[in-house]
Structure 1
Amino acid sequence: MERGRMSTIAWMLDSCLKRTSPFIRFLLVGVINTATGLTIMLVLLELLRWPYMPATLAGNAVGAAVSYILNRSFTFRSNASVPEALPRFITVILLCYMFSYGTSRVAAGYLLPIWMQGFFSADVLAVFMGTALYTISNYAGQKYWVFRQGTGELV
């Protein structure tokens, strides 16, 4: 694949990881976009005292932009057109966001023991739980619906 068609990060990852499975590549890209989005979420939530939903939405928006670029070119090596793939990607991101972070916020309120509440809030626990749910549901949506034309499978 030409370097001009990929971002520099995707090109470096591709050069190092040519023979890995799409799921391993997805997880590596996920580390990058999750670290980016999670950092933004926690800074907004804990340092700037933003409410939970706007903080997680802003962090996810930035992480999603990184995710789209790297997953399209590196993880799934998709040749799906941007006009076709981008609306699907946004749909998957939004559905995964609502499901994962909505469910996690409710669950964290029940799961955070009273003695742990001094160490971190239920919202912080919900962010980490939501991130795990989001990763699993997002992979399935991207692989089987958004970028299905270019699976990235190597022979």
Structure 2
Amino acid sequence: MKMAKFLDEKAWKFAVVGVINTVVGSGVMFGLYNLAGCSYWVSSAANYFLTSILSYFLNKHFTFQYKGDLAGSALRFAVNIGICYFVAYGLAKPAVAFLLKDVSVTAQENVSMLAGMCLFVGANYLGQRLFAFRKRQDN
């Protein structure tokens, strides 16, 4: 599949949905971590649990206009979110801890959450497009 095929109207719609989710999710994640004293994993997981529900419906109907079965697409979406979350945040935390070993754990984990968000976005777009909401003609 050519790169230009990924940078089409669907990509722009995904970006709009992503901005909405990023504003809401960042508030939840950084608020829980910095204001409520929750851990890195609880804060980042709460972000993705809550915003994934919104993302599913917006991307299903607005971005990908997927009309397939609800149960199948919801299951594929949930699997995609889970894999993307654990890979993105699982890679970000040790990588940032290594790169910023001389700064506080709080600073490391804030930067790790930001890095995890970036990794998650790219992986999630590909996962939703190629797996969760894939149409037969998208082969």
TM-score, L = length of structure 1: 0.78
Work out which of the residue numbers 92, 96, 107 in structure 2 matches 1:108: 96
Q: Which runs of 5+ in 1 are unaligned?
A: 1-19
RMSD value, Cα? 1.9
Aligned to 1:139: 125
Structure 1 runs (4+) greater than 4 angstroms displaced = none
- Tell me how many residue pairs correspond in the alignment: 130
Question: Which amino acid letter does the alignment assign opposite residue 123 of structure 2?
Answer: S
Matched, 1:89 2:91: no
CA gap 1:82/1:42 in 2 versus in 1, 3 angstroms: same
TM-score normalized by the length of structure 2:
0.87
Q: Highest relative contact order (Cα 8 Å, sep 6+), 1 or 2?
A: 1
Matched, 1:149 2:135: yes
Q: Give the percent of matched residue pairs that are identical in Structure 1 and Structure 2.
A: 29
Q: Structure 2 regions of 5+ residues with no counterpart?
A: 1-7
- Asked if the contact 1:52/1:123 (under 8 Å) is kept, the reply is yes
Task: State how far apart, in whole Å, the 2-side matches of 1:86 and 1:60 are.
Answer: 15
